[in-house]
Chains A and B, each alone.
Chain A
Amino acid sequence: MYYVVTTAILVTMALALVRALLGPTVYDRVLAVNMFGTKTVLLVAIVAFLSGRPDFLDLALAYALINFVGVLAVLEFFRKKRHFERRP
């Protein structure tokens, strides 16, 4: 059953990558990258139990926090960039 979930998560990561590559706006890409990161956390958690190493859960926890901070940083960058470009 672990293999089924692993396959579903991997297929979803591939779909998110396709959306990130052909997303029309930058927000579509950010959404796809955020989804990719969340699926990475799930994949690491599944692989930890698939390979019998529960120590991998620390990596999943760290990845969840880094992914969140990264998405917020990218969004704030685009907001501030537009703000800076508006004033001459």
Chain B
Amino acid sequence: MIVDALSFTMLALGGFFVFMGGLGALRLPDLYTRMHAASLTDSLGTLLTLGGIMLQAGWSLATIKLLTILFFLMMTGPTASYALANAALLSDDKDAPGAPPATGN
């Protein structure tokens, strides 16, 4: 019973964070702020949603698979974010919308 309540709470919070991240990725004005919103769904949304399913699954093979999925998402999400930010920062079109503001040096 307590596990069910905890699982449903984690699933609801995960859905909330996923929706908030999607809304932010659509509405925020800049590429980097959009990446901030998208990383919210990648970290907290994934963690809470998969954790909620894990509590529902109990100790079985599905939990191992869910842990593997969670591990790979936690490894690949920041790597993809870093590669995206690096490529956007090093890109030439500084005048394009979403480009970083020009600094003095």
Contacts and interface: CB of A to CB of B under 8 A. Distances in A.
The size class of the interface chain B forms with chain A is 35 or more
Contacts of A38: 41-42, 46, 73, 77
Interface in B23-78: 23, 25-26, 31, 34-35, 38, 41-42, 45-46, 49-50, 52-53, 56-57, 60-62, 65-66, 68-69, 72-73, 76-77
A60 B71 CA distance: 13
SS class, residues of chain B in contact with chain A: helix
Contacts of A13: 22
Interface string A51-81: 0001001101100110110011001001100
B105 to A, nearest CB: 22
A11 to B, nearest CB: 6
B91 to A, nearest CB: 7
Interface string A28-69: 101110110011011001101100001001101100110110
Contact of B19 (A8, A24, A58): A8
A82 interface: yes
